[in-house]
Chain A
């Protein structure tokens, strides 16, 4: 079942790459495969029963390279299930959005199906090497997407993206090797490593290895100061590439924290917890301040992503401060961080799909080029307004649930986390300002004669926003998956 979910898209991608179907057929095949995959994921979610602490649902294990301690091991728990669903939703939204794609649609469909497998694979992998294999393949897929379908100075951005994130992934691999060498017997299997706590007795070795893992994951997340690849990659990527990059691929970094860094190296995580909190706070504030100065919609949204991912780091860092506050607060912060991953995926995906509409019509993302879009494009205006208000954390949206939990949990743990609160204000100011300048006032500049969103553009955005509202209004089912997993995670880090 899990194999079908993960490998189904790549099989379809291989067929699309080989069989010369028409462009129209390729687009519809792509959509059909993503919808089928989403249906399978939904079935998986319905069949999911919370496993006992530290256990996995739909688990499967096989030998792969026993002489190097590498195995095939997949499974799902409360941390990965929401992100699997998010991946399925975002890729289906992209397939809908690309129904009118004119540039090499068959190749793009194959590429995104391949990318979908890589992203899903990271979330089910329970072996460090398997995790890394999928993690690295996402980079290759995104490079093709930016280099092949981007605009502006996209070749340079694609190369920069590849070099920067590949460096991150190799540093991560070095950290994994460190864990492997420290474990006795040597293994890359994550549950075995969690049980063995390989570097528990080696504070210095643990700190170095976690430093490598943290750097690798922080580049992917991205946290300030290793975020500089993100804005150019987003600006020059195609709309759906940006959406996948922001909604799914940034989560791979923070997912790595909860899947690998915290449970496998709990002692080192406690030692590094203050650094993680500090990096998170700096990301929140710096991202917000820099976003304030942006004149380009995509760069602006990219920097708000840095802010939003900063909250995740604050929440997860607070989970490691065991000498302060009680475990319940740390668990609330961790749950908030996981919820924030889902929430940011939905909202950032919607924002980037909307920003893509600007470039598709007028070839510009500059805020100054547009004004009064509400009159010629009411659908665009309505969806953009909703997405912006959702992103700034208005109650009723998923962002509120997530940020409220992160901040209440982490401020309860350490008052220093309160330094991240102004980030909400900054985000609010800049998003309201951008929304105002884009949508209101007299229609001017490139907004004159702006065609409103067509159904294939509006439907995916509306769907993502509807899910965000659903999570915001009824967070119960999501939290029912996440909470048991974060409880055992917090207990591992030091109850």
Chain B
């Protein structure tokens, strides 16, 4: 039983070691904490894979049915650890030598642990624990940069998170009371007999609480502020990892709820709201980080599409995991470029940056087209399979909304994409229309510096991952399907 949780134990152990060790390490030797964090993440990743391969012996759940050990949990373990590893790599320049370096690693590991618990929870009380463990470190991470916008974003994140937590716990209380138990098995057995309206309210409250973690409408307002205000590595973390846990938890919940509760149309409606609001809000953004922040809000909309189809299509969970992986690697590629070129903050700064940084610009273009879902990138495969799952589940209208949102998203993605091309120089034709720029962004040194090289290499690796996953995504689909409940 305890051996089932080695991946989680690795994360916890790493977090504790970073926290304690960090207190005793001198400022110049904080890199030891980084090594510990990387070792813990690698340990978690490897043990997750090993556990999945030998999972034949273990049951579908453990600890009296309160924690699932299936394809979804395995996917969350692998994704959370792998994404956090990438985040640590792309944040090397930013975090190395920082006063709070080891604390940052500790919080990253704890948040990743929370996300895994969230994804694996098949008991409402475990779900609450996962939610708190996944969200509280995030408040700290957002605020640790100790800048004015960062602090503001931390307060906003905290307030919304606290609200979401209260709603979630209220929903959990209600559902537990109605079912006379808190495991999903008990819920599935006993909720159909409970009053429909009360069950509906309970489910809606839990749903809304989890939407905070996913960064979806209506609990999205923290996302753009936090992404813009905090450090790039942290922004990369909190737009990717929490979504893994929240969406897998949501899909478990949708499958558990009795058929009489119209949860799928509600999730579909929320998906549509995220798609529309995220896309249109991204239109007017000038700051790259804020633009990406709103873009992730619209991406959650796409991620909610297979959640709405959960249980109605054999592709639903596999496509959700595939989209999560594709979305994560694409988003990380873009954040890695931002981390490698920290002086580029707005659309004006990046004009013509292809001349100074051809490789990083290629990554940006691939990342932007990949976010839109141009084949053969990972998100294309994700969109293909999620749309298929939604259509199979009878949600063809949601496919239409998602298609429209994809087209609209091109508008802001291509604004960035066109700006980086080598011929869109500040001095080129059309410069008259631009506000006078006292300090042209280029020429800059082509070399991003020794520390920025980590971020640049990460960016190139992620870009390769975008293509590899786009062509070889079958591994994810069939792997998840083979391990799924």
Contact = CB atoms under 8 A, between A and B. Distances in A.
Interface stretch (B127-135, B300-308, B470-478): B470-478
Interface in A319-340: none
Given A140-B374, A148-B423, A174-B403, A68 B315 contact: yes
B125 to A, nearest CB: 34
Contact of B474 (A65, A136, A170, A181): A65
A177 B477 contact: no
Contacts of A177: 384, 387-388, 391, 399
B342 interface: no
Given A66-B474, A67-B477, A133-B376, A173 B421 contact: no
Interface stretch (A77-85, A155-163, A257-265): A155-163
Nearest to A103: B423
Nearest to B419: A155
Contacts of B372: 166
A136 B375 contact: yes
Contacts of A233: none
Contacts of A371: none
A167 B391 contact: no
A140 B474 CA distance: 24
Contacts of A129: 384
B481 interface: yes
B392 A137 contact: no
Nearest to B318: A67
A166 B391 contact: no
A351 interface: no
Contacts of B421: 147-148
B414 A173 contact: no
B182 interface: no
Given A177-B384, A180-B388, A147 B418 contact: yes
Contact of A67 (B391, B424, B478): B478
B407 interface: yes
Which of A104, A137, A155, A178: most chain B CB closer than 10 A? A155
B385 interface: yes
Contacts, number: 83
Which of B372, B375, B411, B414: most chain A CB closer than 10 A? B375
A136 B318 CA distance: 24
A68 B385 contact: yes
A173 B374 contact: no
Which of A64, A65, A174: most chain B CB closer than 10 A? A65
B384 A173 contact: yes
A162 B418 CA distance: 12
A404 interface: no
B192 to A, nearest CB: 29
Contact of B407 (A136, A147, A155, A166): A166
B407 A163 contact: yes
Given A68-B315, A167-B407, A155 B478 contact: no
Which of A68, A171, A178, A180: most chain B CB closer than 10 A? A68
A180 B414 CA distance: 30
Which of A129, A140, A173, A174: most chain B CB closer than 10 A? A173
A162 B414 contact: yes
B388 A68 contact: yes
Contact of B403 (A65, A140, A173, A181): A173
Contacts of A181: 388, 391-392
Interface in A39-83: 64-68, 70
Nearest to B396: A178
A173 B473 CA distance: 18
A3 B315 CA distance: 30
A132 B375 contact: yes
A52 B424 CA distance: 53
Contact of B418 (A66, A159, A167): A159
Interface in B368-410: 369, 372, 374-376, 380-381, 384-385, 387-388, 391-392, 396, 399-400, 403, 406-407, 410
Nearest to A208: B396
A174 B399 contact: yes
B242 to A, nearest CB: 27
Interface in B330-382: 369, 372, 374-376, 380-381
A136 B430 CA distance: 29
Contact of A133 (B319, B375, B385): B375
A67 B411 contact: no
B424 to A, nearest CB: 8
B374 A137 contact: yes
Nearest to A153: B430
A64 B423 contact: no
Nearest to B376: A133
Nearest to B406: A170
Nearest to A178: B391
A136 B400 CA distance: 18
Interface string B410-426: 11001000100111100
B159 to A, nearest CB: 38
Interface in B420-477: 421-424, 430, 473-474, 477
A162 B372 CA distance: 12
Interface string A179-197: 0110000000000000000
A147 B424 CA distance: 9
B384 A68 contact: yes
B406 to A, nearest CB: 6
B382 to A, nearest CB: 11
A159 B315 CA distance: 34
Interface string A205-240: 000000000000000000000000000000000000
A147 to B, nearest CB: 6
Interface string A111-132: 0000000000000000001001
A65 B473 contact: yes
A429 to B, nearest CB: 37
Contacts of B375: 132-133, 136-137
B410 A162 contact: yes
A181 B312 CA distance: 13
Nearest to A135: B375
27 contacts: A67-B315, A67-B481, A68-B315, A68-B384, A129-B384, A133-B380, A136-B380, A137-B374, A137-B375, A137-B376, A147-B418, A148-B421, A155-B424, A163-B407, A163-B411, A163-B414, A166-B407, A166-B410, A167-B407, A170-B406, A170-B407, A173-B403, A174-B387, A177-B384, A178-B391, A178-B396, A181-B391
Interface of A: 64-68, 70, 104, 129, 132-133, 136-137, 140, 143, 147-148, 155, 158-159, 162-163, 166-167, 170-171, 173-174, 177-178, 180-181
Given A166-B406, A166-B407, 7 more contacts: A104-B422, A137-B374, A140-B374, A148-B423, A170-B407, A177-B387, A177-B399
List the 4 closest pairs (A to B, CB-CB), nearest first: A133-B375, A65-B474, A67-B477, A167-B407
